[in-house]
């Protein structure tokens, strides 16, 4: 479905990001994964190599625009074009507001919102001529909010706003911009949350299970592919019909 395409996936070293890397490679894309540091990038590359999958990797600071620009220039020089960007890097939070410091809130916004702005701004020049796809990871809490940890849903509401606005701004370049809003998904990020937060949420899922990373990766695959050529500005919920 992605043969001949070059894709960059941030937060690609674990969880949903790593599974999306795997899914894109299986669908014949050339994939470059971004991680937060060298050792996690190297580990992800080694994991995929052992599966017979070839991938490239970088670890730029996503809050340093000039560093991103240099990295994208290097990638473009190597691959000659960049067709797909998946902005997946992010962090969660569940502290009550009275226990959350301003620094902790800013850290969430920096990675979950500002990094998407930086990556999207830097990628546009490489997509303006022939079009492209920008995909963002949102969340079900970016639609419904959550009971504790205000920074995370606030950041995902912002992701939705970026997605919808950029879809309109960039449409004349044939750059499609969409987001996937996962529900509860079986990743290490979810595993770190307290049971008293997760178990009541699972009971609200009509399909009776939490999502798997491949469920989310398949949604990204669809939106990145020609099958979604007339879809832009959409926040695609992949949550088993959970409605909180």
Instruction: Tell me the catalytic residues.
Output: 152
In our burial notation (b when 16+ CB lie closer than 10 A, e otherwise), range 69-85 reads bebbeebeeeeeebbbb
In 32-138, which residue ranges form alpha helices assigned H by DSSP? 38-50, 65-79, 102-109, 115-127
Whole-number Å distance between alpha carbons of 237 and 69: 31
CA distance from start to end of the chain: 33
Whole-number Å distance between alpha carbons of 217 and 100: 31
**Burial class of residue 244 in the structure, from the number of CB atoms within 10 Å of its CB (0-12 exposed, 13-18 middle, 19+ buried):** middle
140: closest CA among 192, 208, 231, 216?
Answer: 216
Whole-number Å distance between alpha carbons of 57 and 34: 6
């Amino acid at each position: 479905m992605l043969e001949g395409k070059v894709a960059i996936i941030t937060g690609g070293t674990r969880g949903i990001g790593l599974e999306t890397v795997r899914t894109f490679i299986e669908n014949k894309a050339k994939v470059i994964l971004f991680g937060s540091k060298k050792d996690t990038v190297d580990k992800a590359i080694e994991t995929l190599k052992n599966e017979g999958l070839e991938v490239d990797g970088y670890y730029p600071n996503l809050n340093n625009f000039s560093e991103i620009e240099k990295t994208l220039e290097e990638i473009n020089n190597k691959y000659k074009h960049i067709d797909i960007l998946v902005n997946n890097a992010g962090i969660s939070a569940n502290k009550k507001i009275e226990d959350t410091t301003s620094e902790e809130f800013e850290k969430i916004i920096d990675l979950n919102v500002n990094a998407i702005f930086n990556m999207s701004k830097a990628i546009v020049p490489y997509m303006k001529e022939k079009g492209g796809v920008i995909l963002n990871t949102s969340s079900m809490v970016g639609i419904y909010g959550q009971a504790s940890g205000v920074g995370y849903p606030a950041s995902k509401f912002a992701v939705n706003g970026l997605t919808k606005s950029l879809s309109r701004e960039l449409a004349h370049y044939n750059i499609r911009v969409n987001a996937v809003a996962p529900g509860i998904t079986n990743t290490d990020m979810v595993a770190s949350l307290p049971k008293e937060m997760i178990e009541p949420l699972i009971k609200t899922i009509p399909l009776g299970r939490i999502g798997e990373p491949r469920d989310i990766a398949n949604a990204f695959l669809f939106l990145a592919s020609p099958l979604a050529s007339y879809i832009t500005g959409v926040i695609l919920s992949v949550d088993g019909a959970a409605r909180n």
